[in-house]
Every structure is written in structure tokens, then in C-alpha cells.
Amino acid sequence: MDLKKKRNVFITGASGFVGANITRTLLKKNFSVHTLNRTDTTPWRLQEIANDITIHKGDLTNLKSLRLALNAAQPDYIIHLATYGAYHFQTEMEKIVQVNIDGTKNLLEASKDLPYKVFINTGSSSEYGYKNKPMKETDFCDPTNYYAATKLGVTNLCKVFANLNKKPVVTFRLFSVYGPFEAPTRLIPAIMNGVMHQKPIELSPGKQRRDFIYVEDVANAYLQAMKLGDKLQGEVCNIGTGKEYTNEEMVKTLFKVTNKKTVINKGSYPGRSWDALHWRADMSHTENVLGWKPTSTIDKGLKTTYSWFEKNSKLYQ
């Protein structure tokens, strides 16, 4: 596939952290990007590129609006990122089911007759539940909350839909993505803010570990899937690094790459029910099927992210 040739990409959830980064990557690669938005207001993460993308008004839960948007966009590729329930304050079961399951069902149905080259559904590592070893796509999944349960349901729905209809639908299970445009309440932006403004960094008391992956690597994984198309029909792929770090290790790495320090108040932030001692991807299947692996080290990812936060701190004021 010639990535320099103009092709249409339809993205749901482009206004989110990961979506905004993927959108920018696609624009740099000369794709024509079409996004779905529920309102006429341009989301903050897309404001500076609003003139470079086509925004369609619609909603995943409204099949008619989805059909109209897709017919207008005529996508060669579909990237599905829109979700609900990923944040701790999003707990309404009805809405989580409505957006994640019904919304994805609507998107699959509305695009069924379109000749797209690949449909990439975005899942979550939370589908696995707690594991004491690297998580594999063939593992028994044991989700522990409504969000994770619906994401697992959607992964299975997409896999069955792909195989029954011979459609190139693949699911990416993302691990702990970080980078530019991440929500300010999450760990990495919080520690960036602490270092920049010399404020104490509040950490939980435990030794929970996570598989942190830089968002540029995630965007490149989506590009790789776009190249492979129907070779990925029905596949489920982990998108992580295969390595895991504690929050404190992330903070100390940030200190190292920025040559700056601030106070760490370990134990001042309460532990959370979903924290786990181990949480990392087994990347063997992804490397085999997708022919891709991340290239950014934690040092590089944190240093690049910090530089971006310094230049764009006004977005977080």
C-alpha cells in the first residue's frame, strides 16, 4: 500500500487522547481523516487541526446518523476508538453497555456493505482481569468491572462478525498508553505537572506495575494494520511493550531524563481496587501476526512527552 496516496479514514473517538494522536499521525501520512462528533463544537484536542479534517455530526447510538456519516466519508479504513467507562467516574452500566456494545454493533452494521480495507476495533487490556503472568490473547478473560466486561463482549462480537461476514475486522487490546494530550488527572500528566511546577507528586503506597506504551508507537501499530488489511480478519492483538514499571519507577525515570526533581509523597494517594502487582502484555502473537513492535523506550517516551507538556501547558490550565 502506498501511504502517500490519499485515502479516507473514518475515526470514532478522534477527540480522545489516543484518537487525537492517531489523527495527527494520519494527517502527516497524507490520509484524508473523517471524524464523528456528537455536537457542533470542535473538541479541544482537535481545535488546531479542525481545518485539516472533516467532522461529521453523529452518534454511535444513532444508526441513522452513522449511516449518513459513513456514506459521506466513504472510508477505506475505519478506526473505532470511541468508548465509555474507561475513567473511574464513568460507572453507569446502562450507558457503558449502550455506547460500547450497542454503539459498536451499530458501527459494524452501518459499515457492513462498504468495501473498507480494514476495521480496527479498540479493546482494552482490562478485558483479561488480574493475571500473575504476561497476558496472552488466548488467555481466559475474567473482567472485573462493567467497562472491561463490555470491551470483552465487543472483542468477541467483532471476531464473530468478521468471520461470519468475511470482513477485515481486527481488535487491538491497548495497555497503558501515555503521551501528548492525555487527560490531566491520569498518572503521566500528573507527574509531568509536578516536575514542571515543582509540586509534590502523590503516589499510591503499593508496588503495582503496568505496561506503559508511548502513544506514537500505538499510532504506528494502527498504520501497520492498515497495510495488512484482510490478513487480520478476526484477529485480536495486544498493543503493549512486554515490559512493566511501577509508578515510582516512572517518576524516577522522568527525573533522570529531565534532570529535574521534586518531592515524592509515596502512600499519600489511595490505592485503587483495580491496581495489580503485574500487568503486562505478551507480545509474541502481535509480533508474529502484525509484524510490528514498539520502538520507544520509557526514557525516550517520557522525555518527548515532557517536552510536549512544557510547550503546551496552557492546554491544561
Angle at Cα 16 formed by Cα 88 and Cα 51, nearest 5°?
Answer: 160
72: amino acid identity, one letter = A
**pLDDT tens digits along 159-179:** 999 999 999 999 999 999 999
- Which residue stretches of the chain are H helix? 17-28, 63-73, 93-97, 103-111, 146-165, 187-196, 215-228, 247-258, 284-290, 298-311
H helix count then E strand count, the chain: 10, 13
Tens of pLDDT, residues 38-82? 988 889 999 999 999 999 999 999 999 999 999 999 999 999 999
Pull the grid cell for residue 222.
494502527
Rounded to two decimals, the pTM is 0.94
pLDDT in 10s for each residue of the chain, 317 residues:
444 568 999 999 999 999 999 999 999 999 999 999 998 888 999 999 999 999 999 999 999 999 999 999 999 999 999 999 887 777 789 999 999 999 999 999 999 999 999 999 999 999 999 999 999 999 999 999 999 999 999 999 999 999 999 999 999 999 999 999 999 989 999 999 999 999 999 998 878 899 999 999 999 999 999 999 999 999 999 999 999 999 999 999 999 999 999 999 987 666 555 566 789 999 999 999 999 999 999 999 999 999 999 999 989 87
Q: How far is CA 43 from the centre of its chain?
A: 17
Task: Please state, in angstroms and rounded to a whole number, the distance separating the CA atoms of residues 204 and 224.
Answer: 36
Residue 316 has what pLDDT? 85
Which residues partner with 12 through β-bridges? 80
